[in-house]
Structure 1
Amino acid sequence: MSEKNREGKRTARERMLEQRAADEASSRRKKKLIVGGSVLAVIAAAVIVGVVVQNQRSKPETPVAAPAGTIGDKNLVIPVGADNAPSVLTVYEDPRCPACGTFEREFSSTIDQLEDAGKIYTNYHIVSFIDRAVAGKGSRNGANALGCAQDAGHFRDFHDVLYRNQPDETNDAFGDKAVLLGLAKQVNGLDTPAFQSCVKDSRFGGWVSAVQQDFDKSSFKSTPTVLLNGQPVYPKNGSEEITPANLAKWVDAANQGKQLGTAGSHGQTPAPTGTASEANNPSPTAG
C-alpha cells in the first residue's frame, strides 16, 4: 500500500474518531443541560413549596372559637387550679411529644395534688409542631381534642388519660379521631354528643394553629418546657434535678408566707408569668 493511501486511510480514520468524539461531547453537553434544567426545576419547585409552607406557618390566624375558660392573649392558655394560687406552673406540651409523655406519667399526680391544695395555678400551652417533622395529624387532632375536653370542663382528666395512653412518636394513632374518642370514654361525663362533634369537626382547629404560632414566636423551641413562676425547672432548677419531691419542695419554698389559693376560684385573668410573650428562659429539653 502506498504511503499516500495509508495517509488517506489514516486521515479518514482520524476524521471518524474526531467526529465520534465531537458527537459524544455534544451528547454529554445535552445531557448536562437536561439534568441541569431538571435540577433547577426541582429547586424552583422546592423554593415555591418552601415559601408556601413558610407562608402557611407564619400567616397570622385569629381563632374563630376558643375553648371555654381559656385565658391570656387570644385565650390561648388552658388553666387548671385556683387562679389565686401563689405560684404559677407554666407547661408547654405537644400531644405527640415522647418527653412530654414521660414528664406527665412521672409528675401528673404531684401536679394534680399541688393544684388541689391551692399551691399552683397551672397554665397549659398545647402546641402541635411535631406534625411538621413527622407525618400525620396526631399533634393537631390531639390538641383539638384537649381543647374540646376543656370546653366540656374535663381537661385535666382527659389530659392525664391522653398522656398515659400516648403512642410512640412515629405512630400517628392520635391522628385517628376514633382513638381520641375511645380514650374519652375513660373520663366520666366527657363522652357526649357535643364532645364527639367537637372532635370530629376539629372545632378548635384555628385555636390550635394560633397556640402553635404563639409558641413559634416565643424563645421556646422544645417540649416539654416547664416554668415555675417564669423560671425553667425541667429538667433542672439550678443544680437540682427535677423530681416529684423536688417540685413540691420548690413550690413550697416559693409559696412560703403566702396565702394558698381557694378551691373553686377559677377567674379568667391572664397568668402573671410564664406566657410565651413574657418568659424568656426556655427549657433545654427536646421533644
Structure 2
Amino acid sequence: MNPTNQFADLLTLMARLRTDCPWDAKQTNASLQKYAIEEVFELVDAIASDDKSTLATESIKGELGDVLLQVVFHAHLYDEQGRFDMADVIFTLQEKLIGRHPHVFNKENLTTDEDIRRRWDEIKALEAKDRPKRLLSDVKSGTALMYAQNLQKASATVGFDWENLGGVLDKLQEELGELQAELPRADFSYKADKLNQSQKDKIADELGDVLFVLANLARHLDVDAEMALQNANAKFKRRFAFVEKSLMAQAKTPKGSNLAQMNEYWEMAKADERH
C-alpha cells in the first residue's frame, strides 16, 4: 500500500463522516478532548503490554490508527473554521523537526545525547523568546506525574533544585514522615472509610507531596516517571493475568480463593519473568 494515497483517502473519509454521520457532525474540538486523551493512553498501554504476539501487533496498529484519527479529526475541524488544514499541520511539524535537528540538517557538531538535548532546549527557548511568560507558565501538563516532572525540570533551570540525589532522598523521608504523622494510629489497623473528611484531606495533601518528590527522584535518576509507572502497571496486569489463569486451571476464581493462594501464583509469575 502507498502511505501517501492511504492518507489522502483517510482525509476524504473524514470529510465524508463529518457530513454524513450525525455523531461526527456534532463534534467540536472541545468535545473531542477526552477522546484524544483516552486514545493516547490506550496506545501507551498497548505498547507497554507488547509481547510481540500477533494479537499485540494488531492492538498497537489499531491504537496508532485511533491516535491518528484524533489528529485528522481535530485538523479537519480547524480547517472548517478557516484557521489551518492538515497540510499546515504537517508543514509546521516538518519545519520544527528540521529546525531542532541542526546536527542532521545544518551539520552542527553534536555528538552526545546530552549535547542534542541541550541544543533542543536552546532552540525551543529561542522559538519562544518573543512570548512573554513566567517560568512555569509554558510547562506542558500531560498526566499529573508528567506535569510534576516537567515543573521540576523547569524550576531546575534557574537553580531551584537539590544539588544531588541525597537531598531528594532526604526530602522523601521527610515527606513520608509527615504523611505518617497524619495517620490516626501507629498500628495502621484501620480502614479508610473510618476516617473523617478532614483526616482524608490532610492525608491526601501529604500523599501528594510524597508523589511529587518521587517524580523528582525519578528526574534526578534520569528516569521517565510516567513510563516507569506505565511499565509497573503493565507488569501488574501481566502477573495478575497469570494468577487468574493458574486459578482457572483448578476451576477456581480470584474471588473464591484466599490471599495465600493468589500470592503463591504471584510469586511464580515473578520467578518466570526472571528467567
Alignment TM-score, normalising by the size of structure 2: 0.24
- Of Structure 1 and Structure 2, the greater strand share is in 1
- Of Structure 1 and Structure 2, the greater helix share is in 2
Alignment TM-score, normalising by the size of structure 1: 0.24
Higher relative contact order (CA 8 A, sep 6+): 1
